């Protein structure tokens, strides 16, 4: 039995769900959400971001009447952008068109559960974002191993620990900041971290897909992970620059050590100093080149004109359609 979330009269939350062709799981998820939220006094609108689906939705698949939901709207994109960018377009649409108290972001396949939604609503104070921290995962051992390696790699490059995903609830006031952040175009959760807006995380177990299989393959997962790292591009660049400079210093010290051994000791084997110094010189040149590349990359990124979600997302929207309304 689901615990009832605190009754908050006229509290208005928009649930943002990006999807591509997963209409059947989304319909079932919406039905379960309606049942879970029904004991409360929330005003709930659902925004489905159709991320370039090949199959169109069927209105007959949606129930004709819901207990709690006020409306369901489909925002159709002109092409498939990926779920992170679909979320960005959805947030811009909400900020422009749907006044509300909070925005709840979740996936439409069932892995983000109605029970978890209620936990987020319970924990939401109205002032701070709340993210779901996965307390139990259902993926294969292989996926968990690679995910753990990715978390280590991410932390080494950015200094930020990977703990949360998309499943979260935001105060509507956060949208004013997020929709003018170029980082939002690459990764939603990382953009919230980068914004320095306050947030908390609570443990919520991941559910199981309602139907079908995930469309995320190995390449898609790598792209997703690199997108999160790219949000901290300047931090990554500086860290790699420092590492390159450290490598340059070590190569210089190695060359000095070789010269000293050759000139002041009898330890050097004939021809050894030439080969050792030559190898270290090549390494030194490579580190200098890497440091130069990272320096110019950081400087160019600081002056380049980036994709701005609030300004540029509109050109990617094909249309908006209300498929259910209960005023």
Query: What digits encode the pLDDT tens for the residues 104-124?
Result: 999 988 889 999 999 999 999
Nearest 5 degrees, angle CA 322-CA 98-CA 327?
A: 55
CB 47 within 8 A of CB 127: no
| Sign of the dihedral through C-alpha 317, 320, 323, 326 | positive
Q: pLDDT tier at 267 (50, 70, 90 boundaries)?
A: confident
Its pTM stands at 0.81
pLDDT value of residue 209: 78
pLDDT value of residue 217: 61
Topology at the third CATH level for domain 12-220+310-325: Spore Coat Polysaccharide Biosynthesis Protein SpsA; Chain A (3.90.550)
Helix or strand (DSSP H, E) at 325: strand 317-325
CB 232 within 8 A of CB 194: yes
Q: Determine how many CB atoms are found less than 10 A away from the CB of residue 202.
A: 16
3 state DSSP class of 171: strand
Token pair 């300047």 is at which residue?
234
Query: For the packed helices 272-303 and 233-264, what is the interaxial angle rounded to 10 degrees?
Result: 160
Domain locations in the chain?
12-220+310-325, 234-303
3 state DSSP class of 194: helix
pLDDT value of residue 175: 96
Q: pLDDT tier at 305 (50, 70, 90 boundaries)?
A: low
Q: pLDDT tier at 171 (50, 70, 90 boundaries)?
A: very high
- Average pLDDT of the segment spanning 146-166: 81
Helix or strand (DSSP H, E) at 311: helix 309-312
User: What's the CA gap between 132 and 169, in Å, rounded?
Assistant: 9
Nearest 5 degrees, angle CA 53-CA 59-CA 65?
A: 130
pLDDT in tens, 40-89: 888 999 999 999 888 887 766 777 788 889 999 999 999 999 889 999 99
| Sign of the dihedral through C-alpha 75, 76, 78, 79 | positive
């Amino acid at each position: 039995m689901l615990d009832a979330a605190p009754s908050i009269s006229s509290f208005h939350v928009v649930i943002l769900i990006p999807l591509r062709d997963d209409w059947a799981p989304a319909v079932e998820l919406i039905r379960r959400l309606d049942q879970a939220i029904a004991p409360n006094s929330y005003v709930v609108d659902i925004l489905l971001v159709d991320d370039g689906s090949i199959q169109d939705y069927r209105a007959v698949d949606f129930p004709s009447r819901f207990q709690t939901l006020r409306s369901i709207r489909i925002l159709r994109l002109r092409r498939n952008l990926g779920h992170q960018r679909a979320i960005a377009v959805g947030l811009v649409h909400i900020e422009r068109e749907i006044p509300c108290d909070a925005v709840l972001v979740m996936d439409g396949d069932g892995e983000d559960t109605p029970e978890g939604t209620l936990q987020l609503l319970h924990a939401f104070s109205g002032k701070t974002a709340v993210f779901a921290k996965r307390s139990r995962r259902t993926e294969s051992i292989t996926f968990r191993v690679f995910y753990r390696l990715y978390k280590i790699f991410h932390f080494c490059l950015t200094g930020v620990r990977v703990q949360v995903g998309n499943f979260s609830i935001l105060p509507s006031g956060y949208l004013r900041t997020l929709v003018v952040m170029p980082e939002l175009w690459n990764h939603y959760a990382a953009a919230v971290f980068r914004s320095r807006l306050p947030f908390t995380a609570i443990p919520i177990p991941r559910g199981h897909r309602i139907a079908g299989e995930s469309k995320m393959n190995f390449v898609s997962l790598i792209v997703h992970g690199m997108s999160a790292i790219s949000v901290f591009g300047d931090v990554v660049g500086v860290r790699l620059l420092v590492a390159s400079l450290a490598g340059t210093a070590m190569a210089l010290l190695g060359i000095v050590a070789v010269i000293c051994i050759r000139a002041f000791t009898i330890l050097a084997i004939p021809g050894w100093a030439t080969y050792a110094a030559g190898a270290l010189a090549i390494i030194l040149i490579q580190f200098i080149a890497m440091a130069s590349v990272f320096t110019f990359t950081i400087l160019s990124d600081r002056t380049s004109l980036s994709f701005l979600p609030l300004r540029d997302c509109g050109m990617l929207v094909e249309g908006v359609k209300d498929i259910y309304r209960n005023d």
